Amino acid sequence: MPTFSRRRFLAVSASALVAAGPARGAVSSSGEVDVAIVGAGAAGISAARRAAAARQSYALLEASDRVGGRCITDRSIFGVPFDRGAHWIHMPDLNPVAKLTARAGFDIYPAPPGQKIRIGRRNAREGEMENFLASLLRASRAIGDAARGGKADISCAQALPRDLADWKPAVDFVLGPYGCGKDLAEVSAADFALSVERDVDSFCRQGYGALLAKLADGLMVQLNTPVTQIDAYGRGGAELETPRGKIRAKAVIVTVSTSVLASGRIKFLPEMPKRLLDAVAKLQLGSYDHIALELPGNPLGLARDDLVFEKSDSARTGALLANMSSTAIGMVDVGGKFGRELSAQGEAAMVDFALGWLVNLFGADVKKAVRRTHATRWNNEPYVLGAFSAASPGGQPGRKILMEPFAGRVWFAGEAVHETLWGTVGGAWESGERAVDAALKRGAPSERPAPRQRKSPKRRS
């Protein structure tokens, strides 16, 4: 059965360091380093590894008490690996993180192709499945055609064919909340069309977040160290303020999410220009959460890693990934406007929705089978504030704007700073490497630029 693109998103003190690393990774006694990296998610980890490989001293500063950012594996909730954030390893043959699995001692395996569709309490028949897949394909092509039309960028919703009939709600969900974390009315057709096809996927048995954390081994990470201000024109280099004191660096790589940038949690000196602020605003994170249910005995009768959608009649729907990596864990994913509203109601409401949704599809016996439950609420994570960064209409050029250096000493990185792999761990990883390469290639200004002299206005004759 053919598959379709899955655009998704997609884990102490200054002296509390993760693992033992090379001395060059530590902040010197003077608080001066070559590269300061803000955030220890995928982009931050890759940036630190790149800086260390280039024999540059670095400081890797993480506001929370763990590494991984939006890619975390938890074993305490269910007693088995559970990815609270990113789970799909897209395009493993090209993914820079997947290429490191064997060396890290981790096992990845291919995700099964295709998906199932439930229509009420039965699986879609062959003809119905063909209609669904054809509708998805036509919708994706229409969005691509609109993006290549040479006209102003429009929303994906505006580009959809008008004859999707009763498959439209399902198509809206799969391409929008499930694929982008936003409703299609909020997603740029140009951004959607530029994203690389993610039609080949894998999973990591030990957890994607566990793999990322392993790749941080040997790095000197300062946890619980939020950066509150970055002065790009500090004396002798950029100055970063943290609750543990100041750090001075020749270059700064900022890997926090676009929603955190927009929140003003980090103050920039000089202030970011309007062009950059507008780019950040149009790349803020969507909403995407997992509602995990322990279902021992496989009461749904599904295979390992079966992906299930429903032929919905509204936006109140989700996607099920069953028996994840041969465990008893089923994960109901919700996103977009409905997912955001549901998350705001709290974990109990999220679990209640997931149970009711499964009962409608598989029967009342599901409730009797459920044991432990858990729901993520990424919109409430203070150092994340959402899922991943599908651009709003007109916002796609903002990704390239974020790739430009700011004030000569600051570079941005993360999944939002990748034009084709946005929303992925692999994209974040590549952006971190590219940011360090750009910073080292360009170097940094030796001093604060002189203020511009204001010219006297010419007198009109």
CA distances from 207 to 68, 198, 350 (A): 12, 19, 23
pLDDT per position as a tens digit, 396-407: 999 999 999 999
The mean pLDDT value of the chain amounts to 90
* Token representation of residue 164: 């999707």
CA distances from 263 to 76, 269, 285, 375, 415 (A): 31, 16, 12, 24, 18
For the chain, the domains span 17-69+209-284+390-442, 125-201
What DSSP line would sit under 116-150, residue for residue?
EEEETTEEPPHHHHHHHHHHHHHHHHHHHHHHTSS
* Token representation of residue 453: 């002299």
The mean per-residue pLDDT over the stretch 353-360 comes to 98
CA nearest neighbour of 322 among 331, 310, 313: 331
* Token representation of residue 355: 């149970």
The mean per-residue pLDDT over the stretch 50-54 comes to 97
Instruction: Please return the burial class of 391, using the count of CB atoms within 10 Å of its CB with bins 0-12, 13-18 and 19+.
Output: buried
Alpha carbon of residue 319 to chain centroid: 18
- How far apart, in Å, do the first and last CA atoms of the chain sit? 77
SS3 content of the chain, % helix, strand, coil (to 5): 35, 20, 50
Q: What dihedral do alpha carbons 422, 427, 433, 434 form, nearest 10°? A: -40
Could you give the percent of the chain with pLDDT greater than 70?
A: 89
- Per-residue pLDDT, 444: 53
**Residue 375: its H or E element:** strand 373-375
pLDDT per position as a tens digit, 83-127: 999 999 999 998 999 989 888 889 999 999 999 999 999 999 999
| C-alpha to C-alpha distance for 25 and 203, rounded to whole angstroms | 31
Q: How many helices (H) and strands (E) does the chain have?
A: 15, 21
| C-alpha to C-alpha distance for 145 and 155, rounded to whole angstroms | 12
- The answer as to CATH 3.50.50.60 being correct for domain 17-69+209-284+390-442 is yes
Q: How many Cα atoms are found within 13 Å in the side-chain-facing hemisphere of 112?
A: 17
pLDDT per position as a tens digit, 213-248: 999 999 999 999 999 999 999 888 999 999 999 999
DSSP state of 109: E
Average the pLDDT over each of 47-56, 359-368, 448-457 and give the range with the smallest value.
448-457
**Residue 110: its H or E element:** strand 108-110
Q: Which pTM value belongs to this model?
A: 0.90
**Residue 35: its H or E element:** strand 32-38
Q: What dihedral do alpha carbons 238, 241, 242, 248 form, nearest 10°? A: 30
| C-alpha to C-alpha distance for 445 and 447, rounded to whole angstroms | 6
Report the relative pairing of strands 17-18 and 221-222 from DSSP bridges: antiparallel
DSSP state of 197: P
